[in-house]
Structure 1
Amino acid sequence: MKNFILPFLFCASLFVFGQGMPATPGGTLSEYNLHTISADLKMNKFNEINTRKDEYFDTDFRNASISGYKEKEKLRYNAFLDDFEYIRDGYLYKMNRMSNQIIVFDNTKIFKLVNFIENDKLTSRYLQVLSSPEDKIVLYKKYAIDYTDGLGASGLNASNKKNYFKQDKLMLGFDDKLFNIPSSVKKIGNLIGKDVESIVKSNNLNVKKESDLIKLVEIINK
């Protein structure tokens, strides 16, 4: 991955001459498709003190393997912006987003850039993969951070402070759509068109537990 990050001016000059190069992530610079490099990848000089910690579930950079690249990179996930970030030459960068991109951390956490339909519109988001990403039905965990402005009694902004709130929730992905986990076993069965009740009963599963939901999805996909 190190090979495809360039200072802005060098990148801009090479782009003019490299438009016909084949896309071979993990190869040398001359083999990489420069169409995928955009100047706004480089954000700002990195300073841990200036990190907006409210935008992260975890502010640490951790070793990860990225699909299509030979070398590992230290990454962290900005749940507020839904971007993976890394440091290069003292600057903070956001990683290029590529369809179905998979990121595997050394601590075994797996994330995937998932394309799905939401409110009749095609969208994409990084989701933690809790079951096999290749199965028809996949169990995901969605991390999201949003905020509200600090408003006074009059409804006017009393300060510049933003009130952040974090949410992580389990979701089922299939047929190119994402669904919140239904509140009951019967509703889960109705959603996916399977006899989930008998599976839960025979395997003594509790669908309120993440570990048991993972087992349920594994059994359903067999």
Structure 2
Amino acid sequence: MKIIFSTLLFTITICAFSQVNNKDLIADLSAQTGRSLYLRPNETDPIISKYYLNTEFKKAYVEGFEKGNEYRYNGFTDNFEFIENGELLNLVKNSSIRLKFNHNESVYQYLHFFDTKGNSQERFLEIVIDGTPKYSLYKSFEVTESANDNINGYKSTEEKKINITKEFLIGINGTIHTIPRSTKKLNQILSINVEEIIKSNKLNLKKQEDLVKLIEILNK
């Protein structure tokens, strides 16, 4: 009886350990507290939906894993959320993981970068141009909250103001920088003068198609 009990206990331990490890490979349990940002796939809330790049769960897969799932990106918590066995889970934040969506083939990766003030940051970025000899292009989507100065019983009941920021970033030999609005500051980051390239090609640093063209020119 003792042998049977020990064997059973050992089996349960191995099984539990295996389950935890498998889950940790691609996700960890969501630890959201306070106001819930969770929406069911078909629910649309005009306020909460602003926290998401897309409130609907879309089919995607982690490169290297055959099994896909449905994900959505929360710009406030910087998490790719998915549901498994009734639980809301978050994709692990690891630079070795690349998440690719089926519907538009967009690819996201958790990467280190420098913001316009030179501060070190880490966040999920969409890869626009990658695998090039020297320069690459990325895009970020971030949601922040600030005090709502216009709160009024007749106009607004929200205590927080939701701010949405979309930025482009440039990778230079593996080091990623947020693209500044000033051409002079961009010259400093690139260590070359791109002002003539921007003027002659009539490029707008706020437009993705123009930034793609700039990267293609720089990589020639």
TM-score (norm 1): 0.68
What are structure 1's unaligned runs of at least 5 residues?
Answer: 1-11, 19-28
8 A Cα contact 1:150 1:159, kept in partner: no
Letter in 2 for 1:145: V
Identity among equivalent positions (%) equals 25
Deviates more, 1:136-145 or 1:109-118: 109-118
- Per the TM alignment, residue 152 of structure 1 is displaced from its structure 2 partner at its CA by 7.7
Q: What number of residue pairs does the alignment pair up?
A: 194
8 A Cα contact 1:46 1:92, kept in partner: no
Corresponding residue for residue 194 of structure 2: 196
CA distance in 2, matches of 1:179, 1:105: 24
Letter in 1 for 2:66: K
Equivalent position to 2:83, from 76, 81, 87: 87
Superimposed CA distance per residue, residues 33-61 of structure 1 (whole angstroms, 9 cap, x where no aligned partner): 67657763487997454973231131011
- Per the TM alignment, residue 150 of structure 1 is displaced from its structure 2 partner at its CA by 4.0
What are structure 2's unaligned runs of at least 5 residues?
Answer: 1-11
Deviates more, 1:211-220 or 1:120-129: 120-129
Equivalent position to 1:138, from 136, 139, 143: 136
8 A Cα contact 2:113 2:178, kept in partner: no
CA distance in 2, matches of 1:50, 1:42: 22
Aligned Cα root-mean-square deviation (Å): 3.6
- Per the TM alignment, residue 138 of structure 1 is displaced from its structure 2 partner at its CA by 2.1
After superposition, the Cα gap between the structure-2 partners of 1:183 and 1:36, relative to the gap in structure 1 and judged at 3 Å, is same
After superposition, the Cα gap between the structure-2 partners of 1:78 and 1:14, relative to the gap in structure 1 and judged at 3 Å, is farther
Deviates more, 1:133-142 or 1:43-52: 43-52
> Matched residue of 2:112: which SS?
strand
Corresponding residue for residue 100 of structure 2: 104
CA distance in 2, matches of 1:117, 1:15: 42
> Matched residue of 1:130: which SS?
strand
Letter in 2 for 1:109: S
Equivalent position to 1:206, from 203, 208, 211: 203
Superimposed CA distance per residue, residues 70-124 of structure 1 (whole angstroms, 9 cap, x where no aligned partner): 2222110000000001111232211112224222212122212112356777542
After superposition, the Cα gap between the structure-2 partners of 1:34 and 1:90, relative to the gap in structure 1 and judged at 3 Å, is closer
Corresponding residue for residue 9 of structure 1: none
8 A Cα contact 1:46 1:90, kept in partner: no
After superposition, the Cα gap between the structure-2 partners of 1:126 and 1:182, relative to the gap in structure 1 and judged at 3 Å, is same
After superposition, the Cα gap between the structure-2 partners of 1:117 and 1:160, relative to the gap in structure 1 and judged at 3 Å, is same
- Per the TM alignment, residue 218 of structure 1 is displaced from its structure 2 partner at its CA by 2.1
1:40 aligns with 2:38: no
